[in-house]
Structures are given as structure tokens and as C-alpha cells.
Amino acid sequence: MKQYRFINNITGWLVFAIAAFTYLMTIEPTASLWDCGEFIASSYKLEIGHPPGSQVFMILARFFTLFAGGNETRVAAMVNAMSALASAFTILFLFWTITHLARKILIKDENQFNVTRIAAIMCAGVVGSLAYTFSDSFWFSAVEGEVYATSSLFTAAVFWAVLKWEDNADSKHADKWIILIAYLMGLSIGVHLLNLLALPAIGLVYYFKKFDFSWKGFLVSIAVSFLILALLIWGIIPGLVKISSRFDLFFVNTLKLPHNSGMLVHFIIMAVLFVIAVRMTLNSENKIRNTVFALGALFLTGIWVVGSGFLNILVLIALAAFLWYVAGKNRILLNTVLTAVMVILIGYSSTAIILIRASANPPLNENNPRDPFSLLYYINREQYGDRPLFYGPYYNAPVLDYKDGKPVYVLEDNKKYVITHRELERVYDDRFLTLFPRMWSDQSDDHADIYKAWGGSKGIPLQVTNQSGEKSIVRKPRFSENLKFMFSYQFGYMYFRYFMWNFSGRQNDTQGTGGAINGNWITGIRFLDEPRTGTYDLPEDLRKDPSRNVYYMLPFLLGLIGMFFHLNTDNRNWFNVMLLFIMTGLAIVFYLNQYPNQPRERDYAYAGSFYFYAVWIGLGVLALFRGISLFTGERVAAPLAGIACFLAVPLIMGMQNWDDHDRSGRYLARDVAFNYLESCAPNSILFTNGDNDTFPLWYAQEVEGKRKDIRVCNLMLLNTDWYIEQMKQKMYESDPLPVSLPIKKYYDGINNQVFIVEKTKDPVDIKTIIDWILSENPATKVRISANEILDIIPTKTIRIPVDAAKVIESGTVRQEDSSKIVPYIDIKLKGNSILKSQLIILDILAHNDWKRPIYYVTGYHNDAFGLEEYFQLEGLAYRLIPVRSENKSWVDYGRIDTDILYENIMKKFVWGGANDRNVYIDYNHNRTLTVVRARLQYAKLAKALAAEGKKDKALEVLDRCMDVLPPENVKYDPYYPDLIEAYFAAGNNEKALKLTNDYCSYNYKHLDYYLSQSQYIISSAEYEIQSAIQYTSKVSTACMTYGARNLAEEIDKKLETYYRDYLKTRIPEDQLPVSD
């Protein structure tokens, strides 16, 4: 046994070293896309990121940033290295978990230890753990500064710890492992709640060790485990803060003490009660006293505050009965329970960091959770809305009315809590309410179509009456259609597809939307793949795509063998692993209840499930060892099974996945943020939209200190009161935004929507509009009920006056362009209302008075107010200026000042390794470059320079674009034809024709491929087919315009053939249009 432990430890650390080397060699050296920029920025300065917070991750990451040695450019790499090491430790615990389970199968007593069996166990651990090391989803999270790598470490450590308890359960101090598990779970709340899903499996391990098996006991243990999980997630985590908020309300509003004083008193009383209760249950046999102090301590945790008042009372009574029973029957168990809850709270107390740092009002302070009420809002993720889980409406449920919900408390002037409003709750037609609503989202118009496509569209016709009294027929989805959507889309497409990515193969990293050509799982076996994803005679760029990875289903099959082998040889531990596999996979799918067309792929959320499948991959080695040994004996079977499985699974996975998971050398996300900032004049206001617009900018400013004079303003967050308040404060060198409205005009629930009541058709000055909102005159309001009066906007045309002298003085417009300055700009409001963010923008426009430059990252959205004709392109951002542009299309909008644009693009812009063939530019980065229209900006500048007669300069711009964004590394996008046209305009026909031939050849190959496929594949590729024809046609037009008539005619002829072939797949041949 001693020799086994030594070998097990040494081999485990060798596996750790392999994983650590792999991840540290492939980490991204800076911030990645999505949440990484925000997490790194909030960790570096201990600021407040998005709900529900990740304070433990933040503290750990802050520690790692110290190793940057004051070099801000290395901070992100240190946080990413933390993820790499956390992931390597996860692999270490996985190895030890597999060897623990394998030992229980192969070695029943000390006499069965021998070198051969130890070798077989080690081979199982190595193959299983390295298979997970090189798996797609886990490797992705391991090399970036996100919470999922650290969360995986907690899950792995907790399951390893319960197995250690199982080994030592009969020893005197075995319960120390239970206390450690509880503490780790408390800490994990400050990383991600996923770790808590291990609780049911922990309960099973406890049951199997302590009790003789019976189906009744088995089911009871599962029920109790789920009850504990529910009391933790819906009880203690929010309940503790709910109790604190009641204390604080009394202390602040009644006793007139500072805010958070009640919370402090609550924690002190609770801590004292826990200390007393733990000591008493250890030393005293007084049943009444032990029950009273235990109940008092647990009462203050909020464990009983799980829902409505009646349910809370029932839980409290049940809790009291349980404590009374245990205090009399098993005092030591009660002591263990109290100690476990206490250490969970100690771990959870890390949440105090959120409160403390929010009170310091750092630049990043999302939700400003500075008191228990705002903290509760924060940890409940209320800004994201609710998703019905067990009961709720279908997506097309008619809303009959609204009713008042819970009151919303706000700390006013740091003096008292006031109720600003009550949350509005929809009252739905009862006929459209269902158990387990899966087809629920009405957030987007396309959700209904996708629900019907995946679930079915037959429905049940019901007559409904809307709020205006009009009758109509609405088809309520059948419950069978609801379940079909759950199984086909949520379980199938949004889980099983990801599962097979990791253990069978992945088609490409393009986000899948349900079609055949993007984001699917594949095997590498023709007859299995071709009917689903198309034939294997792919165009070269698709065939050699680094993200196309095939494992020939070998990891999946080995895991399947291991799963059945485990069931047959150790069914108790099989139940444990299976429960964890389900809880970290399908159970999360059920809980998340995702709507269709998610903003990104969600495989990272299920990495825990793939972890436990890797356990079975390891045990599959044992199954083969057992099978081979029947023919060769164990001495030959061990190395043969180990080597074969290693070559077939982790080696293939590592070789396939390295090229698309290696992020070393990629700085693109950070550099796009730099380019945004460098596009702006000093002391600018930059309006952004989504995560990938904003989070890298936060990173650039907060961590690397780039352009702190610019105020980044996220338009989505501008719908919240806390964010507007932050925008009104000075941050670094950035002055406050000129918002005149007081907070009472934009409290949460106030002016979320401002209705337009036309009192005049004439334009109204923008400052008059804001004064109208500020006014208390009843004539400026509209009463909708006895108790509710709303602010309104009295016109649909709002006028922004322009003082030409101020505009020139501020540098908004050059002196030589003074004749182009318009006297005013009119905003034409659309619809019947505007959102709070739009009201605040109007306030900014009213009081900025052209003093500070205002930029948008993009136009053609509601917050741009249709002002695109007054945009000036100055890089990646568009400046609002009082000069009308002739360019008004949704693609080609905004005038150009060639001097400014040339200075920024040619002298300031960097593109983070996009031109390095050793750096993989994945789908998300390609999409980002398309969204920011990187190539288009170069093309527009070049065409503008050519129009000014500066053709040499135009060619310099175009050559720079081809150098920094080469098509060999950055995929063709819709703006590549603009580069070709610009080369023609600049006079380099030779280069233009070469690019034309290359581009057309690329599209022809894709069209040949797609149009040779089955009808199913062609239908999935409609966007690609239509785009290829459309953009190639655009190149043809450029050729015709600039004298390459023969080539243009050749292209048109080819496109006509492709178009007719495409039409044949959609309409009968005899109905096709006649060719000229």
C-alpha cells in the first residue's frame, strides 16, 4: 500500500506537470473576448464585476497579479496563468479520483497489490486525466481569465475530498473531511455556484458508506441531498442577506444609525450564536438548550427564507423539528451539521468584499451593492430577469394585466431606505401557463419561430381577448411540443452536441444555429458524418480549418466501455459518478432553461459533466485490461491496454486540439479596444453596446491605463440608475457626463419607459424637453391611475441647436469646413416611447453643447436616434458632428476626414498578431473584426484619398490592410470586395485583378461544394450561398466600373449558373426564369 501511494502521488504530479505545461504554453497573453476583460479588470483593482459576483476568484486573481511586477501589460497573463494552474490542479484531482475508483475495482485487499495491477491503475488515471486535459471545452477555459477553471478546481477538490472521507470514514477524525468539503463549498459560492451541484453525490457517498443499501434508503438519501442543495441555493445564499436587510432597515430608518450597521449587528449576533451552539452541542446534553441555540443560529442564516410566507413557516417548523430530534438522538451529528453550516458561512463571508469595495465607489462598480438591499439585488442577478423553471407561461401567453410585486428599497442620500416603487408582475391568461415551461421566451421576435422549428407548431387554437378588447386566435403550444423542444434543442443541441465535441470531434468553431454546416459534432468517419454535415470533399480552407477536430469517437467509446464496466464492477460508486455526470450536465441544462439563439456557445457551463465522463474514460482502460488479460495474462495486458488507449485517446486529442487552442501570441481583443480608444479625440464620450464592445475597453483603461480621459458609456447599462450615477462622477482624467436629471427621475422602475404624447407637431428644443421632464407642473405629466403619474415627451421631433462658433472652437469641425455646418439637427423619434437610456442620451446631448466629442461604436440602433447622417468616421468609432454626410446606407454611413482617419489607422492602430500565421484567429475574433468593419475602414479611407487625388497614399493604406489583416489568417468577410474596389480606385488594377481572381476562386469552390450537397445541406447553407453570390457580384460590379469588362462578364456568367443551380433546389425547373 505504501509503494502504491508513492507511485500514485508521483504519477499524479507528473500528469499535473503535463497539464500545467500544456496550459501555460497556450494561455492568451492578454485579455480575451467576452467576460475576461471585466474579470481581469475587477480583480486587478478589486472592483465590482457583473452579478452575482466572484469575490473569491477576484482575491485569488489579485494575488496572481502581484507577480506581474508592476508591469500592467503582464497582469492579464498572470490571471490567465492562474486559470492554467487551477486547471492543472483539477487534472491532478481527476487523476487521483480515477485511481481511487480503479483501486476499489482491482484491489479488494492488501494482498492483491502487485506491480501489474498498480500499473493498470496508473494507466487508467493517466489516460482519463489526460483525455480531459486535452478536451475542447476544458482547454478553452483553462487558458483565459474566467471563473470556470477555478470553479472546476473546487468541484474536483470536493469530490476528491469526499472520496478521502470514504477511505477514512471509520477513523476518529474522519469528519474533518466533511468540514473541509463544507468550507470549500462556502468558498466556491464566491467563484461560481456550479460546485454546489456536487452535493447530491456527496450525500450518496455518505449513504453508501454509513448504511446498508435499500432502495428506500437510497431514494431518501437522494431526496435529503437535494433538499440540502435547495436550502443552500434558495435559502442561505439569498436568505442571509434578506435577514440582514431587515436588520438594516430597522437600524437605519428607526434607530437612525448608518447604513450597514444593522447588517453588522446581525452578523455579530449570528456568529455568537454559532459559537455557543457549536460548543454546547459538543459539551452539553441539554436537549432544549442545544435545540434553542441551534435554531437561533440557523434562523439568522436565512436558511428558512425560501419563498412565500407560508412556505417559509413550514420550512422553519420542519427545521425546528429536525433539530429537536437530532439534539436528542445524535448530539455529535448536530454538532457536525452546525460546524458545517458555520464554515460554509465563513467561506460565503467573502461576499463582504463586494459590499466593502462597492462602498469605496471604484470606477467599475456594477449594481453598486453598497447596502444589504442592493447586495440582495446583486446576488439574485435581478437585472437579468427571471426564467420560469417549474411553472410559468408559454412564449405567446397573453398578458391580461399587471399587479404590484415586492417593494424596491433604495438608500436615499445615505440616510434612510425608501420604497421607490413596487416591481410589476405580469398576470397571464391561466390557459397558457404550464408545468416546466421550456418554450417561454418572448424577448425576441425570432424566438417563436425557433420554438416552432424545434418543438412543433401545431399547437392548440384558443380564442383570446387582448387589453383593447379585440379577439383573436392564438395557438398555445402543446405540452408534448414543450417537451420536444426541451429534448431536441436544450438537451440535444445545447448539451449533447457539446458533449460530442469533446469526445467525438468538432466540425468547426463557428457558432451553430441548428444547421448542418456550422458548429456540429463530427466523428471523422465518413458514413456517420456525411448525411448530417456534408461530404468530405470540402474546400481546402474548411478541410484544413484548425478548429476542425476529429477523434473518431474513440474517447466516447472508451468512456462508454468504462461506464458499463464501472456499473458492473462497482455499482455504488457508479451511482455517485453518474449522479455527478447528470447534475453537472443535464440538470444545469434544465435549470438554465435557455432560450434559443444564445449570444455564444455555452459548452463551458457543462465542463463538470465532461469531467466525470473522463472518469469513465479512465476506467475504460481497466475494462480493456481485464478483457485482454483473459488472453495474454495481466503482465502483458497492463502495458498493452495502457499504451493502446493512450495512443487512441489523449494523444489524438492533444494533436488535434493544440493548433486551435493555442492562444499564445494573440493580442487581438486587447488591441481592438486600443484602436477604439485611439479613434477618439481627448476627453471624449464613447457609447458602446455589447460585452465585446465594452469589457476589453474596461480592461484597457483599468489595467493597462490606456486613454483614461475617455468615458466609456455602455448603452445597455445606461438603463440602470446605479450606472447613470457613476456616469455623473469624475473618473480618472474623464469628466462627469453632463446629465442634469436627478436620481429620483431614473430610480429603478422610474422612467424605464417614457411615453410620447404629441402636444405639438413642431420641433421642440432639446433643453426644453429635459426641462419638461424636470418640471413638476401637472401639464407636463399624464395620470394613468389614482396613484401613478408619468413623465412624457410632448413631441416626436427634438431639435439640437448648433452654434457654429462653438463647434469650430471645440475642434468638432475644422475651420475650412465651417460652411458645411448645419444650423440644427432634428431627432425624429420613432414609436410611442423611448427607454431610460435614450432619455439620458437626450440629456447628455442637451447639455454637452458640443464641448466634448461624442462617439458611437456603431450606428443604426435605437440609441443613435437616426443620427448616422451626422456621423464622421475617425477610426473604429463614429463622431457626432453637425455636418451632414451623403453616405446614408446601413453599411456605408458617415463622412470621412482623411487626415484624422489616416493618422489613426496608419500610425496608431495595432492588430494583435492577426497577420501572424502562427496565431490562430478563431471564429469570435473573425466576427469581431467583421463587426468593427476593420477592412471597410481601410477601404473607405483609401477611396476617399483616391477621390482627393492622393492615390499613392491610398495604395499605402490598402497595402497596410493586406499586411495586417491578410486573408490567409483573417477570413474573407463582407467588406473584402470594398478593398478590391479601392485598389481599382487607387489605380493599381494589377493588384485589384489578382485579389479578384483569388476571391472569386474562393467563392466558386464554396459554391461548387454547397450546391453539390443534399437538399438538407443546401438549405442549411443558404446564407453562405447567397452571400457568396452577392459579394462576388459586388466584385463584378467593381470590375465593370473600372474597365475590366471581360472579367466582369466572366464572373456574371459563372454567377448566373450558380444562381440557377441554387434556384433549382428551391423551385421546380420548369418555373425557373428564362436566361437571356
Cβ proximity of 34 and 691 under 8 Å: yes
Burial class, 246, CB count within 10 angstroms (exposed 0-12 / middle 13-18 / buried 19+): middle
Cβ proximity of 610 and 137 under 8 Å: yes
Three-state secondary structure call for residue 813: coil
Q: For the segment 1024-1067, what is each residue's pLDDT rounded down to a tens digit?
A: 999 999 999 999 999 999 989 999 999 999 999 999 999 888 77
Alpha carbon distance 647, 659 (integer Å): 18
Tell me the average pLDDT of the chain.
Answer: 93
- Parallel/antiparallel/unpaired status of strands 433-435 and 391-393: antiparallel
Cell of 802: 448648433
pLDDT grade for 466, boundaries at 50, 70 and 90: confident
Look up residue 876 and give its DSSP letter: S
Cβ proximity of 964 and 914 under 8 Å: yes
Alpha carbon distance 464, 110 (integer Å): 73
Q: What percent of the chain has pLDDT over 90?
A: 81
The domain spans of the chain are: 668-907, 923-1071
Relative orientation angle of helices 75-106 and 607-632, to the nearest 10 degrees: 40
Strands (E), 429-527: 433-435, 460-465, 471-476, 505-506
Alpha carbon distance 652, 554 (integer Å): 9
Q: Among residues 217, 216, 525, 245, which one has the least CA distance to residue 371?
A: 245
Q: Give 147's contacts (C-beta < 8 A, 6+ positions apart).
A: 39, 54, 57, 191, 192
**C-alpha torsion sign, points 88, 92, 94, 95:** positive
Alpha carbon distance 14, 1 (integer Å): 20
How would DSSP label each residue in 63-85?
HHHGGGTT-GGGHHHHHHHHHHH
Look up residue 594 and give its DSSP letter: P
What's the start-to-end Cα distance of the chain, in Å? 86
Q: Among residues 993, 1006, 988, which one has the least CA distance to residue 1054?
A: 1006
Cell of 556: 466516447
**Predicted local confidence at residue 470, as pLDDT:** 82
How many residues are recorded in the chain?
1076
- Mean local confidence (pLDDT), 649-655: 97
Q: For the segment 228-282, what is each residue's pLDDT rounded down to a tens digit?
A: 999 999 999 999 999 999 999 999 999 999 999 999 999 999 999 999 999 999 8
Cβ proximity of 610 and 87 under 8 Å: no
Cβ proximity of 141 and 34 under 8 Å: no
Alpha carbon distance 327, 335 (integer Å): 9
Q: For the segment 851-907, what is each residue's pLDDT rounded down to a tens digit?
A: 999 999 988 778 888 899 999 999 999 999 999 988 767 677 889 999 999 999 999
Q: For the segment 396-428, what is each residue's pLDDT rounded down to a tens digit?
A: 999 888 888 889 999 988 889 999 888 888 899
Query: Left (φ > 0), alpha (ψ -120 to 50) or beta: where does 559 sit?
Result: alpha
**Predicted local confidence at residue 1069, as pLDDT:** 60
Q: Give 1019's contacts (C-beta < 8 A, 6+ positions apart).
A: 515, 1065
1073 pLDDT exceeds 70? no
**C-alpha torsion sign, points 263, 269, 270, 272:** positive
Q: For the segment 513-562, what is each residue's pLDDT rounded down to a tens digit?
A: 899 999 999 999 999 999 999 999 999 999 999 999 999 999 999 999 99
Q: For the segment 312-368, what is each residue's pLDDT rounded down to a tens digit?
A: 999 999 999 999 999 988 889 999 999 999 999 999 999 999 999 999 999 999 999
**Predicted local confidence at residue 1, as pLDDT:** 72
Output the furthest CA–CA distance in the chain (Å, rounded).
Answer: 101
How would DSSP label each residue in 714-730?
ETTGGGSHHHHHHHTS-
Cβ proximity of 733 and 771 under 8 Å: no
**Predicted local confidence at residue 1071, as pLDDT:** 59
Cell of 565: 464496466
* C-alpha to C-alpha distances, 917 to 593, 659, 672, 1047, nearest whole angstrom: 40, 11, 19, 31
Cell of 431: 390557459
pLDDT grade for 1072, boundaries at 50, 70 and 90: low
* C-alpha to C-alpha distances, 235 to 192, 333, 382, nearest whole angstrom: 17, 21, 16
787 pLDDT exceeds 80? no
Three-state secondary structure call for residue 272: helix
Q: Give 455's contacts (C-beta < 8 A, 6+ positions apart).
A: 438, 439, 477, 481, 482, 484, 485, 488, 489
Alpha carbon distance 1042, 886 (integer Å): 22
Q: Give 402's contacts (C-beta < 8 A, 6+ positions apart).
A: 424, 425, 426, 427
Q: For the segment 934-960, what is each residue's pLDDT rounded down to a tens digit?
A: 999 999 999 999 999 999 999 999 999
Q: Among residues 750, 748, 754, 690, which one has the least CA distance to residue 368?
A: 748
Please give the model's pTM, rounded to 2 decimal places. 0.93
Q: For the segment 992-1004, what is each residue's pLDDT rounded down to a tens digit?
A: 999 999 999 999 9
Alpha carbon distance 351, 365 (integer Å): 14
Burial class, 790, CB count within 10 angstroms (exposed 0-12 / middle 13-18 / buried 19+): middle
